Structure 1
Amino acid sequence: MSPQLPLSLTKHVALVVETSNAYARGLLVGVRKYLATRPAWSIYIGEHSRQDTDLSWLEGWHGDGVIARIENEQTALQVRKLGVPVVDLSSARLALEFPCVETDDEMMARWAVRHFAERGIDNFAYCGDSRFGWSINRQEHFSHQVRAHGQGRLAHLFELSDSGTAADSRRALVDWLHSLPKPVGIWACYDIAGQELLEACKVANLAVPYSVAVLGVDNDELICNLTSPPMSSIQPDATSTGYLAAQLLDSMMVGAVVDPELYPIPPLRIEPRLSSDVLSVDDPLVVKALRWIREHADESIRVDDVTRQVNLSRRSLDYRFVGALGRTVHDEITRVRMSRVAELLLHTDWPLTRIAERLGFRQSEYMGVAFRRHVGRSPGEFRQLNGGTRSL
């Protein structure tokens, strides 16, 4: 057991950071990572939400420093009253006297525009939440990037609202979606907004990703993989953000001067999923066929099944597919079904026989041969190389 530090050397730190979402929990992981090899801190944390203004749990607390996501004026006021060093974790910048560590919103906006543009989409939209300063910042950066990309092109904007009922908000979102030029790429300010977008697309009967492609922020694995279709998302480096915030606060608590500026942390990557897995398609019959293939990818579907849905001959539909996508209907069925095989290999511990049965393959051996031909590796090799849950 390591010796306990004298109380006079222990730093008492309050964490005003919610634990209700993946990004905030990542921040806390970063703080904990910093503390693993540094002098002891005594942590004080209370459960609250993003917009919670009740910080009465801090009454009577006498500490040495605070790390806070200052998302509203009331939180800024209460944190100021503590009279201790503070590091902010919100780009809302409601307390400019404190240093702020936050994800680089400008870089994320640039990535979002490029993500859609690479898929042939030249209509851009942003779904924001004006309650949060970082959402407003992302909207401004996104609008600028869209203008730069399209020589003055404008981004279509929508603000989620917590006024009225959830049904009212859904109807407003559906109306906005109908008004947009198609196909359109929509950047959601965070994954919850992206989830609402995808649900509204179902109500509006808009094909995702062919008419509407959606990209979120935070890469919350649970939310992104529960949406239908699974949602693409930008992965911020929350751990590094929390780590740097703890590092700066540690310096401030021993008397170092830290400039009260924004310290931006670059995002890690875009995690592509089906919600934006598309090349821009203008042909409505191709869009209809693609949507049907996606919806029935877990079945043993054939080209003739698809042609019946759009009332075209195989030759005519192949001609349209090659013109729009550069591949035939059969190629697209194979691509989508092999993607489903890969998904089950990575996210389950199912043996090949169970995966084949789930996806309607007559034999697991046939599925394995088709997968190797498409991917270049056997299912077992693919699972091992990509960190799957077990080898076959």
Structure 2
Amino acid sequence: MGSGVEERNVAIIVETSNSYARGILRGIHDYARSRQGWTLYLTEHGRHEIDQSFAGNWKFDGAIARIETDLMAKIITTMDVPTVDVSAARLISGIPWVETDDEAITRLALGHLRDCGLQNFAFFGDPFYNWSIWRQQNFERILGRPDIIRSRIFNLPARKEPRVRWWTQREEIRSWLESLPKPVGIFACYDGCGQQLLEICRYYNFKVPADVAVIGVDNDELLCELATPSLSSVIPNAFRTGVYAAEILDRMMSGEKLSERKHSIEPLGVRKRVSTDVLTVADSQVAKAVAFIRQHAHSNIGVEDVLREVPLSRRVLEARFRKALNRTPHQEILRVRTNAVRELLLETEMSLSEISEALGIEHPEYLSVFFKKETGLTPREYRDQVRGRSFLKIAD
């Protein structure tokens, strides 16, 4: 007698060569483990490489694919099975796709640069990729002032092939960097571009992060740590992207008709490294207060402690804080402590009780409540999603 479990043979056509794609694969795998009968087909390949092995005599019930070439789109179309796209290239119409929330990514990147006290911003992009174009558009929309912003944008040359010999653009990039008001925070469209920009800054002796602070996207740990200096980066929720794509495909393979639309996945936060380890605040008293707060991120301080360090009344300090950083001292304390919790969750195996003790918080329950209020996730959910663990139930 059969088990009664309906078997699903699913083609996973996602590269294994970069951190973001591997995060998607972890999410797909986690979902598949929760579903009896799912069998995954995956081969090792790089981005933009054509893996045609699945197009032979294999019989698939569905596919999740990063459709990034015309040939890949043709093969997927010929397969004629339910398919979910996890690429921004948009080479097949009529199918659902799951991608990063580029507006949220841009807001996080700019918010982080503002947290460093920066007031001048620029964008370094690669228009070969749609998500770079969308991030640039969000950059322009959020900052406004098109008369100024256009001069703050540098894009690598448009081309038909994925590879670009970016070092041939060194002189143009140097001239652009020289033209930017300093200090400046640069939002690089992804970690690869961020690393390239840091190499050019090092080559031409631009001071990072004192004069040029750089933040990328994807938080590719190896790439970010190998950069000189190490690269700050927005952390996408690639794991949830994979889970969501698998859940959508499951519904489609069960006969549900889903229209073409983008399912946007919000990022998890920012991983700060040396490339943005700077604080630029013109108001000396506010700068002193912020430095005190950051130095005591692992202590249970309040606004009263800050006022003992800065010879200002609470009302005056709050007014000057708002003018300089667009937030109150209390909000800065919460923000810094939230980031301290993030770092401990990312970089250690400490339990919630141990993190609470390290931060001078008496009750772990309070830490969990305040962290979820600030981030929308419990500490455990945050750690699991960043590390690509634990199946996530996706709402309809």
**Partner in structure 2 of residue 326 of structure 1:** 288
| Structure 1 residues 209-228: Cα deviation after superposition (integer angstroms, max 9, x where no partner) | 11111111111112222222
| Code of the aligned partner of 2:235 | Q
| Code of the aligned partner of 1:154 | I
**Shift of residue 322, structure 1, vs aligned partner:** 5.1
Kindly indicate whether the alpha-carbon contact (under 8 Å) linking 1:177 and 1:204 is maintained by their aligned counterparts in 2. no
**Partner in structure 1 of residue 149 of structure 2:** 154
Q: How does 1:1-392 map to 2 (within 5 A)?
A: 9-53=6-50, 55=52, 57-147=54-144, 153-154=148-149, 156-161=152-157, 165=165, 167-280=167-280, 325-326=287-288
Distance, in Å, in 1 between the alignment partners of 2:3 and 2:153 is 53
**Partner in structure 1 of residue 319 of structure 2:** none
**Shift of residue 179, structure 1, vs aligned partner:** 2.8
SS in 1 for 2:46: coil
**Shift of residue 175, structure 1, vs aligned partner:** 3.3
**Shift of residue 14, structure 1, vs aligned partner:** 0.9
| Structure 1 residues 133-180: Cα deviation after superposition (integer angstroms, max 9, x where no partner) | 222211111221121xx5864152222356774531444433332232
Distance, in Å, in 2 between the alignment partners of 1:72 and 1:260 is 19
Kindly indicate whether the alpha-carbon contact (under 8 Å) linking 1:106 and 1:141 is maintained by their aligned counterparts in 2. yes
**Shift of residue 261, structure 1, vs aligned partner:** 0.6
| Structure 1 residues 63-118: Cα deviation after superposition (integer angstroms, max 9, x where no partner) | 11110112233322221121111101123322231101111111111222222223
SS in 2 for 1:174: helix
Higher relative contact order, chain-length normalized (CA < 8 Å, sep 6+): 2
Distance, in Å, in 2 between the alignment partners of 1:25 and 1:131 is 21
Kindly indicate whether the alpha-carbon contact (under 8 Å) linking 2:87 and 2:99 is maintained by their aligned counterparts in 1. yes
Distance, in Å, in 2 between the alignment partners of 1:61 and 1:174 is 51
Kindly indicate whether the alpha-carbon contact (under 8 Å) linking 2:119 and 2:184 is maintained by their aligned counterparts in 1. yes
Could you list the runs of 5+ residues in structure 1 that have no partner in the other structure? 283-320, 336-342, 350-374, 378-385, 388-392
Distance, in Å, in 2 between the alignment partners of 1:164 and 1:106 is 26
| Code of the aligned partner of 1:182 | K
Greater Rg over alpha carbons, structure: 1
Kindly indicate whether the alpha-carbon contact (under 8 Å) linking 2:43 and 2:51 is maintained by their aligned counterparts in 1. no
| Structure 1 residues 114-135: Cα deviation after superposition (integer angstroms, max 9, x where no partner) | 2222323222221222222222
Kindly indicate whether the alpha-carbon contact (under 8 Å) linking 2:15 and 2:21 is maintained by their aligned counterparts in 1. yes
RMSD in angstroms over aligned alpha carbons?
3.8
SS in 2 for 1:192: helix
Could you list the runs of 5+ residues in structure 2 that have no partner in the other structure? 297-342, 350-357, 361-378, 381-396
Distance, in Å, in 1 between the alignment partners of 2:3 and 2:134 is 42
Kindly indicate whether the alpha-carbon contact (under 8 Å) linking 1:210 and 1:281 is maintained by their aligned counterparts in 2. no
SS in 1 for 2:149: coil
Distance, in Å, in 2 between the alignment partners of 1:164 and 1:255 is 42
**Shift of residue 27, structure 1, vs aligned partner:** 0.3
**Shift of residue 277, structure 1, vs aligned partner:** 2.0
| Code of the aligned partner of 2:97 | C
> CA 1:281 to 1:97, structure 2 compared with 1: closer, same or farther past 3 Å?
same
Kindly indicate whether the alpha-carbon contact (under 8 Å) linking 2:191 and 2:224 is maintained by their aligned counterparts in 1. yes
Distance, in Å, in 2 between the alignment partners of 1:202 and 1:100 is 39
